[in-house]
Structure 1
Amino acid sequence: MSSDQQITIREAKIEELPLLRAFEQGIVSAERPFDPTLKPGAIEYYDLGAMILAEDACVVVADAGGKPVGGGYAILKAAKPYQLFDQYAHLGFMFVDPGFRGRGINQQVIEALVAWARGQGISEVRLDVYAGNEPAIRAYEKAGFSPHLLTMRLGD
């Protein structure tokens, strides 16, 4: 498949779950160097099937000629009682097939998820990224995100 195909962003389908699980393992592999606390082997970070079916979440795929080549999700979460907003959208599952990277697909996925969140009346959008993952940080900053809180840890 040519990597110069037109990319469209659409909602994920439940029957795409096996491929989305493969994307998830791509995310795990990319994050292992940044997180020594991850167990070896396959890990499931997300309940993607439940999110695809949920009203308070949106899972999208980047589609190239009928084949998903990336994706992401937004899920609504309750804010802390002391925050200025009641809910926020949390983005995750950000993945683009290595053969399709460098084409702005992640930006398109983010734009679609932010648009979904805005359509739900949400103004606050957040995501997590490892502090040492400079390429991802740059990509999210390019999309308008800014650092907010850094989680510190003490452990083996």
Structure 2
Amino acid sequence: MIIRPAHIEDLPILLDFEQGIIKAERPMDITLKTDEKINYYDLSDYIKADHTEVVVAEVNGEIVGSGYGQIRERKEFFKQDTMGYIGFMFVKDEFRGQGISQKIIQYLSNWFSTKDITEIQLDVYDQNPSAIRAYEKAGFEKYLVRMRINSGDKS
């Protein structure tokens, strides 16, 4: 297995992975539109951007996983001006449980280190315990809970 930066030629596969993520997350998020195709990311721009590293995992020449690391500005009251953010984590079903996501996270962590980024964050749905376990295995810790209410829902 190799982890490498994504190329623009990988875009069709990456767009399929994005739809796989959305399909998995729709049942966890009632705020997502369900009656139309949506996109979370502008992957073409991300591949070209200096502040984002999109990567793919290949096994025997087949792209089986993806992720991105992005340098993001922070508000002035934080100790650090920038942070790393990891997203777009996807591994094909038949390749899960083989440590691929861990290798993607390690690759992105190393990339952040070359940019002098020491704090890395990500978002994960609370209803996704397998993803939470994978991120905890990589050293991530829970530190904030986002809550919501739909004030129009009176039932």
Map 1:109-148 to 2 at 5 A.
Answer: 109-148=104-143
Question: Partner of 1:45: helix, strand, or coil?
Answer: coil
Match of residue 144 from structure 2:
149
Cα shift at 1:133: 1.2
Identity %: 49
Q: Distance in 2 between matches of 1:98 and 1:87?
A: 33
- Distance in 2 (CA, whole Å) between partners of 1:80 and 1:123 is 16
Aligned-partner residue type, residue 67 of structure 1: E
Report the RMSD for the aligned CA atoms in angstroms: 0.8
- The aligned runs of 1:52-131 (5 Å cut-off) are 52-131=47-126
**Preserved contact between residue 59 and residue 73 of structure 1 (Cα < 8 Å):** yes
1:120-147 CA deviation, whole Å, 9 max, x = no partner?
0000100000112111111100000000
Unaligned 5+ residue runs, structure 2?
none
User: Does structure 2 retain, via aligned residues, the 8 Å contact 1:131–1:150?
Assistant: no
Q: Say whether 1:29 aligns with 2:23.
A: yes
Partner SS for 1:27: helix
Distance 1:106 1:42 in 2: 26
Letter in 1 for 2:138: A
Deviating more after overlay: 37-46 vs 55-64: 37-46
Runs of 4+ in 1 over 3 A off after TM superposition: none
Unaligned 5+ runs, structure 1? 1-6
Give, in angstroms, the shift of residue 42 of structure 1.
2.3
Deviation of 1:65 after TM superposition, in Å, equals 1.5
TM-score, with normalisation over the residues of structure 2? 0.94
Counterpart in the other structure of 1:3: none
The alpha carbon displacement at 1:39 in A equals: 0.7
Q: Tell me which residue corresponds to 1:18.
A: 12
Paired residues for 1:42-61 under 5 Å: 42-61=37-56
Partner of 2:33: 39
Deviations 1:30-52 (A, max 9, x none): 11121011112322100111010
| C-alpha separation in 1, matches of 2:39 and 2:9 | 17
Aligned-residue offset at 1:76: 0.5
